[in-house]
């Protein structure tokens, strides 16, 4: 079974631009979560989508948004990029919502975003 | 709110020896899950092991075992027979029951020496 895939793997943007990252979950998985990883803040939860609905949201500004399609693929968008948005963006999928009850999240390889 | 604490800045272990990576957590939830992930330099987070808060036995997955001490709120990862490929960052994470939001610790760098 194919793992979680993320595209693109690397991205360079300039301040003020916007960017869209894509995540395809493991086949059959309906929950997709996004995380941001930076050296200073570590791994931080962005949001989770399940059945095309945002189920959870982390403490990020409204510039960060996402959506999920009927095939469970998800995209996240960052508008008006800032230097501090440079990070590794990780997507994770699980069969259902509710990791704490035993459904493990499986991560993709991530998208490295550099904002100049 | 949940909090994960990983205080070991970096660990070194000789190949074929066992190593313990520490993790303590704080939560007011009764039901929660504890996870360990490995992150090589490539960046991908690799799931290693899971422990549920109501599981009475410690979880094991091959060379990985989780030393779960609920009263002390600790969930240490034990890697037996270390291999060179085990060199990576290791993250402890938790999630409250029925919630997919993972809270991660700062991570521990493990270096395996030949």
Give pLDDT tens digits for A61-84.
Answer: 999 999 999 999 999 999 999 999
Distance (Å, rounded) from C-alpha A33 to C-alpha A66?
10
For residues B84-108, give the mean pLDDT: 90
For the cut 90, the answer to whether the pLDDT of residue B101 exceeds it is no
Q: Residue range B17-27: average pLDDT?
A: 97
Provide the pLDDT for residue A104. 82
Quickly count: other Cβ atoms within 10 Å of residue A53's Cβ.
10
Which of left, alpha, beta for B87 (phi over 0: left; psi -120 to 50: alpha)? beta
What 8-state DSSP symbol labels residue A99?
G
Torsion of CA B99, B47, B58, B16, to 10 degrees: -160
Cross-strand partners of A42 = A38
Task: Give the model's confidence band at A95: pLDDT under 50 very low, under 70 low, under 90 confident, else very high.
Answer: confident
Contacts of A88 in chain B (CB under 8 A): 43
Q: Output the pLDDT for position A99.
A: 55
Give buried/exposed letters for A2-23 (b at 16+ CB in 10 A, else e): eebebeeeeeebeeeeebebeb
Q: Does A8 touch chain B (CB under 8 A)?
A: no
CA–CA separation, A72 vs A104, rounded Å? Answer: 17
B52: closest chain A residue by CA: A102
As a whole number of angstroms, the distance between CA A20 and CA A42 comes to: 22
Distance between B62 CA and the closest CA of chain A, angstroms:
17
Separation in Å, CA of A49 to nearest CA in chain B: 10
């Amino acid at each position: 079974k194919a793992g979680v895939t993320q595209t693109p793997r690397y991205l360079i943007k300039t301040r003020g631009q916007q960017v869209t990252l894509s995540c395809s979950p493991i086949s059959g998985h309906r929950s997709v979560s996004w995380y941001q990883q930076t050296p200073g803040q570590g791994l931080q939860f962005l949001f989770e989508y399940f059945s095309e609905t945002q189920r959870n949201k982390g403490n990020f500004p409204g510039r960060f948004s996402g959506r999920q399609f009927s095939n469970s693929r998800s995209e996240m968008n960052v508008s008006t990029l800032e230097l501090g948005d440079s990070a590794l963006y990780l997507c994770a999928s699980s069969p259902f919502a509710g990791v704490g009850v035993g459904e493990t999240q499986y991560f993709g390889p991530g998208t490295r975003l550099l904002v100049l | 709110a949940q909090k994960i604490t990983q205080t070991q800045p970096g660990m070194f272990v000789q190949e074929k020896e066992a190593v313990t990576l520490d993790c303590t957590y704080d939560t007011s939830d009764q039901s929660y899950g504890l996870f360990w992930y490995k992150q090589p330099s490539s960046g991908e987070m690799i799931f290693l092991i899971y422990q549920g808060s109501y599981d009475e036995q410690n979880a094991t997955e091959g060379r990985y075992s989780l030393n779960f001490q609920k009263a002390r709120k600790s969930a240490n990862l034990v890697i037996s027979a270390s291999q060179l490929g085990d060199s990576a960052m290791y993250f402890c994470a938790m999630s409250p029951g029925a919630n997919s939001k993972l809270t991660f610790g700062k991570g521990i760098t493990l270096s395996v020496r030949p």
